[in-house]
Homo-oligomer: A and B are copies of this chain.
């Protein structure tokens, strides 16, 4: 890690549609903004534009809610078609109470509404999470490394709530070209004693840092994080799956 980290907004991407070439759009927007893209840098890309480019939008008019979805939606005054999508995207319900659904997606992510989201989407549609956010990150990493000819990392981010704490933070749901955790175990502290339980989820911290320049309404879906040196350009380095706790080690199933 260097002495300083810079988080830069990548402006001017515009509205993303299915089939858009995100690699070209991100590279061109970075160049147009005269951003210096250097080896070790990391692009953080919000899930929403990845989902849009990959066509992971569902037209609500075509969704037929199940009996369960209708009952829940009626009770909590929700759109039954959205609830139906949430249930379909869930492999396990963690909590379903007070109008809130926390569930596990088939990616293993545990989040509200299985990542189904209608914000910043044409009102007739709902956005799903990308089918394989790590694969999305790998594809972006490969393309951006080729375009800039330097080793880079890519994080695909989404904003998640947390147990016990208010507010949402941006986390990494996909990663490539960087090690998502920095493991300090075996290293020594300033008193020469071995650190025993310190692995930092740097991919989540990169996502969180990126959110500071993105905002929810400001149309900045991509940030460039410079100065960490975390980007390796090796697309097989890292996977956001490594950030998901295995069921048998999770005390909060």
Contact = CB atoms under 8 A, between A and B. Distances in A.
A219 B189 CA distance: 9
A228 B212 contact: yes
A244 interface: yes
Interface in A207-253: 208-209, 211-213, 215-219, 225, 227-228, 242-245, 250-252
Interface string A1-20: 11111111101000100000
Contacts of A53: none
A116 to B, nearest CB: 13
Nearest to A5: B7
A114 B123 CA distance: 45
A97 interface: yes
A163 interface: yes
A244 B110 CA distance: 20
Question: On chain A, which size bracket covers the interface?
Answer: 35 or more
Copy number in this complex?
2
Contacts of A219: 190
A206 interface: yes
Interface in A168-213: 168-171, 180-182, 184, 187-191, 193, 195, 198-202, 204-206, 208-209, 211-213
B202 A252 contact: no
Contact of A6 (B6, B9, B166, B216): B6
Contacts of A187: 216-217
Contact of A245 (B95, B164, B225): B164
Contacts of A98: 251
Q: Report the 6 A-B pairs with minimum CB-CB distance, sorted nearest first.
A: A167-B201, A209-B209, A163-B252, A208-B208, A205-B208, A5-B7
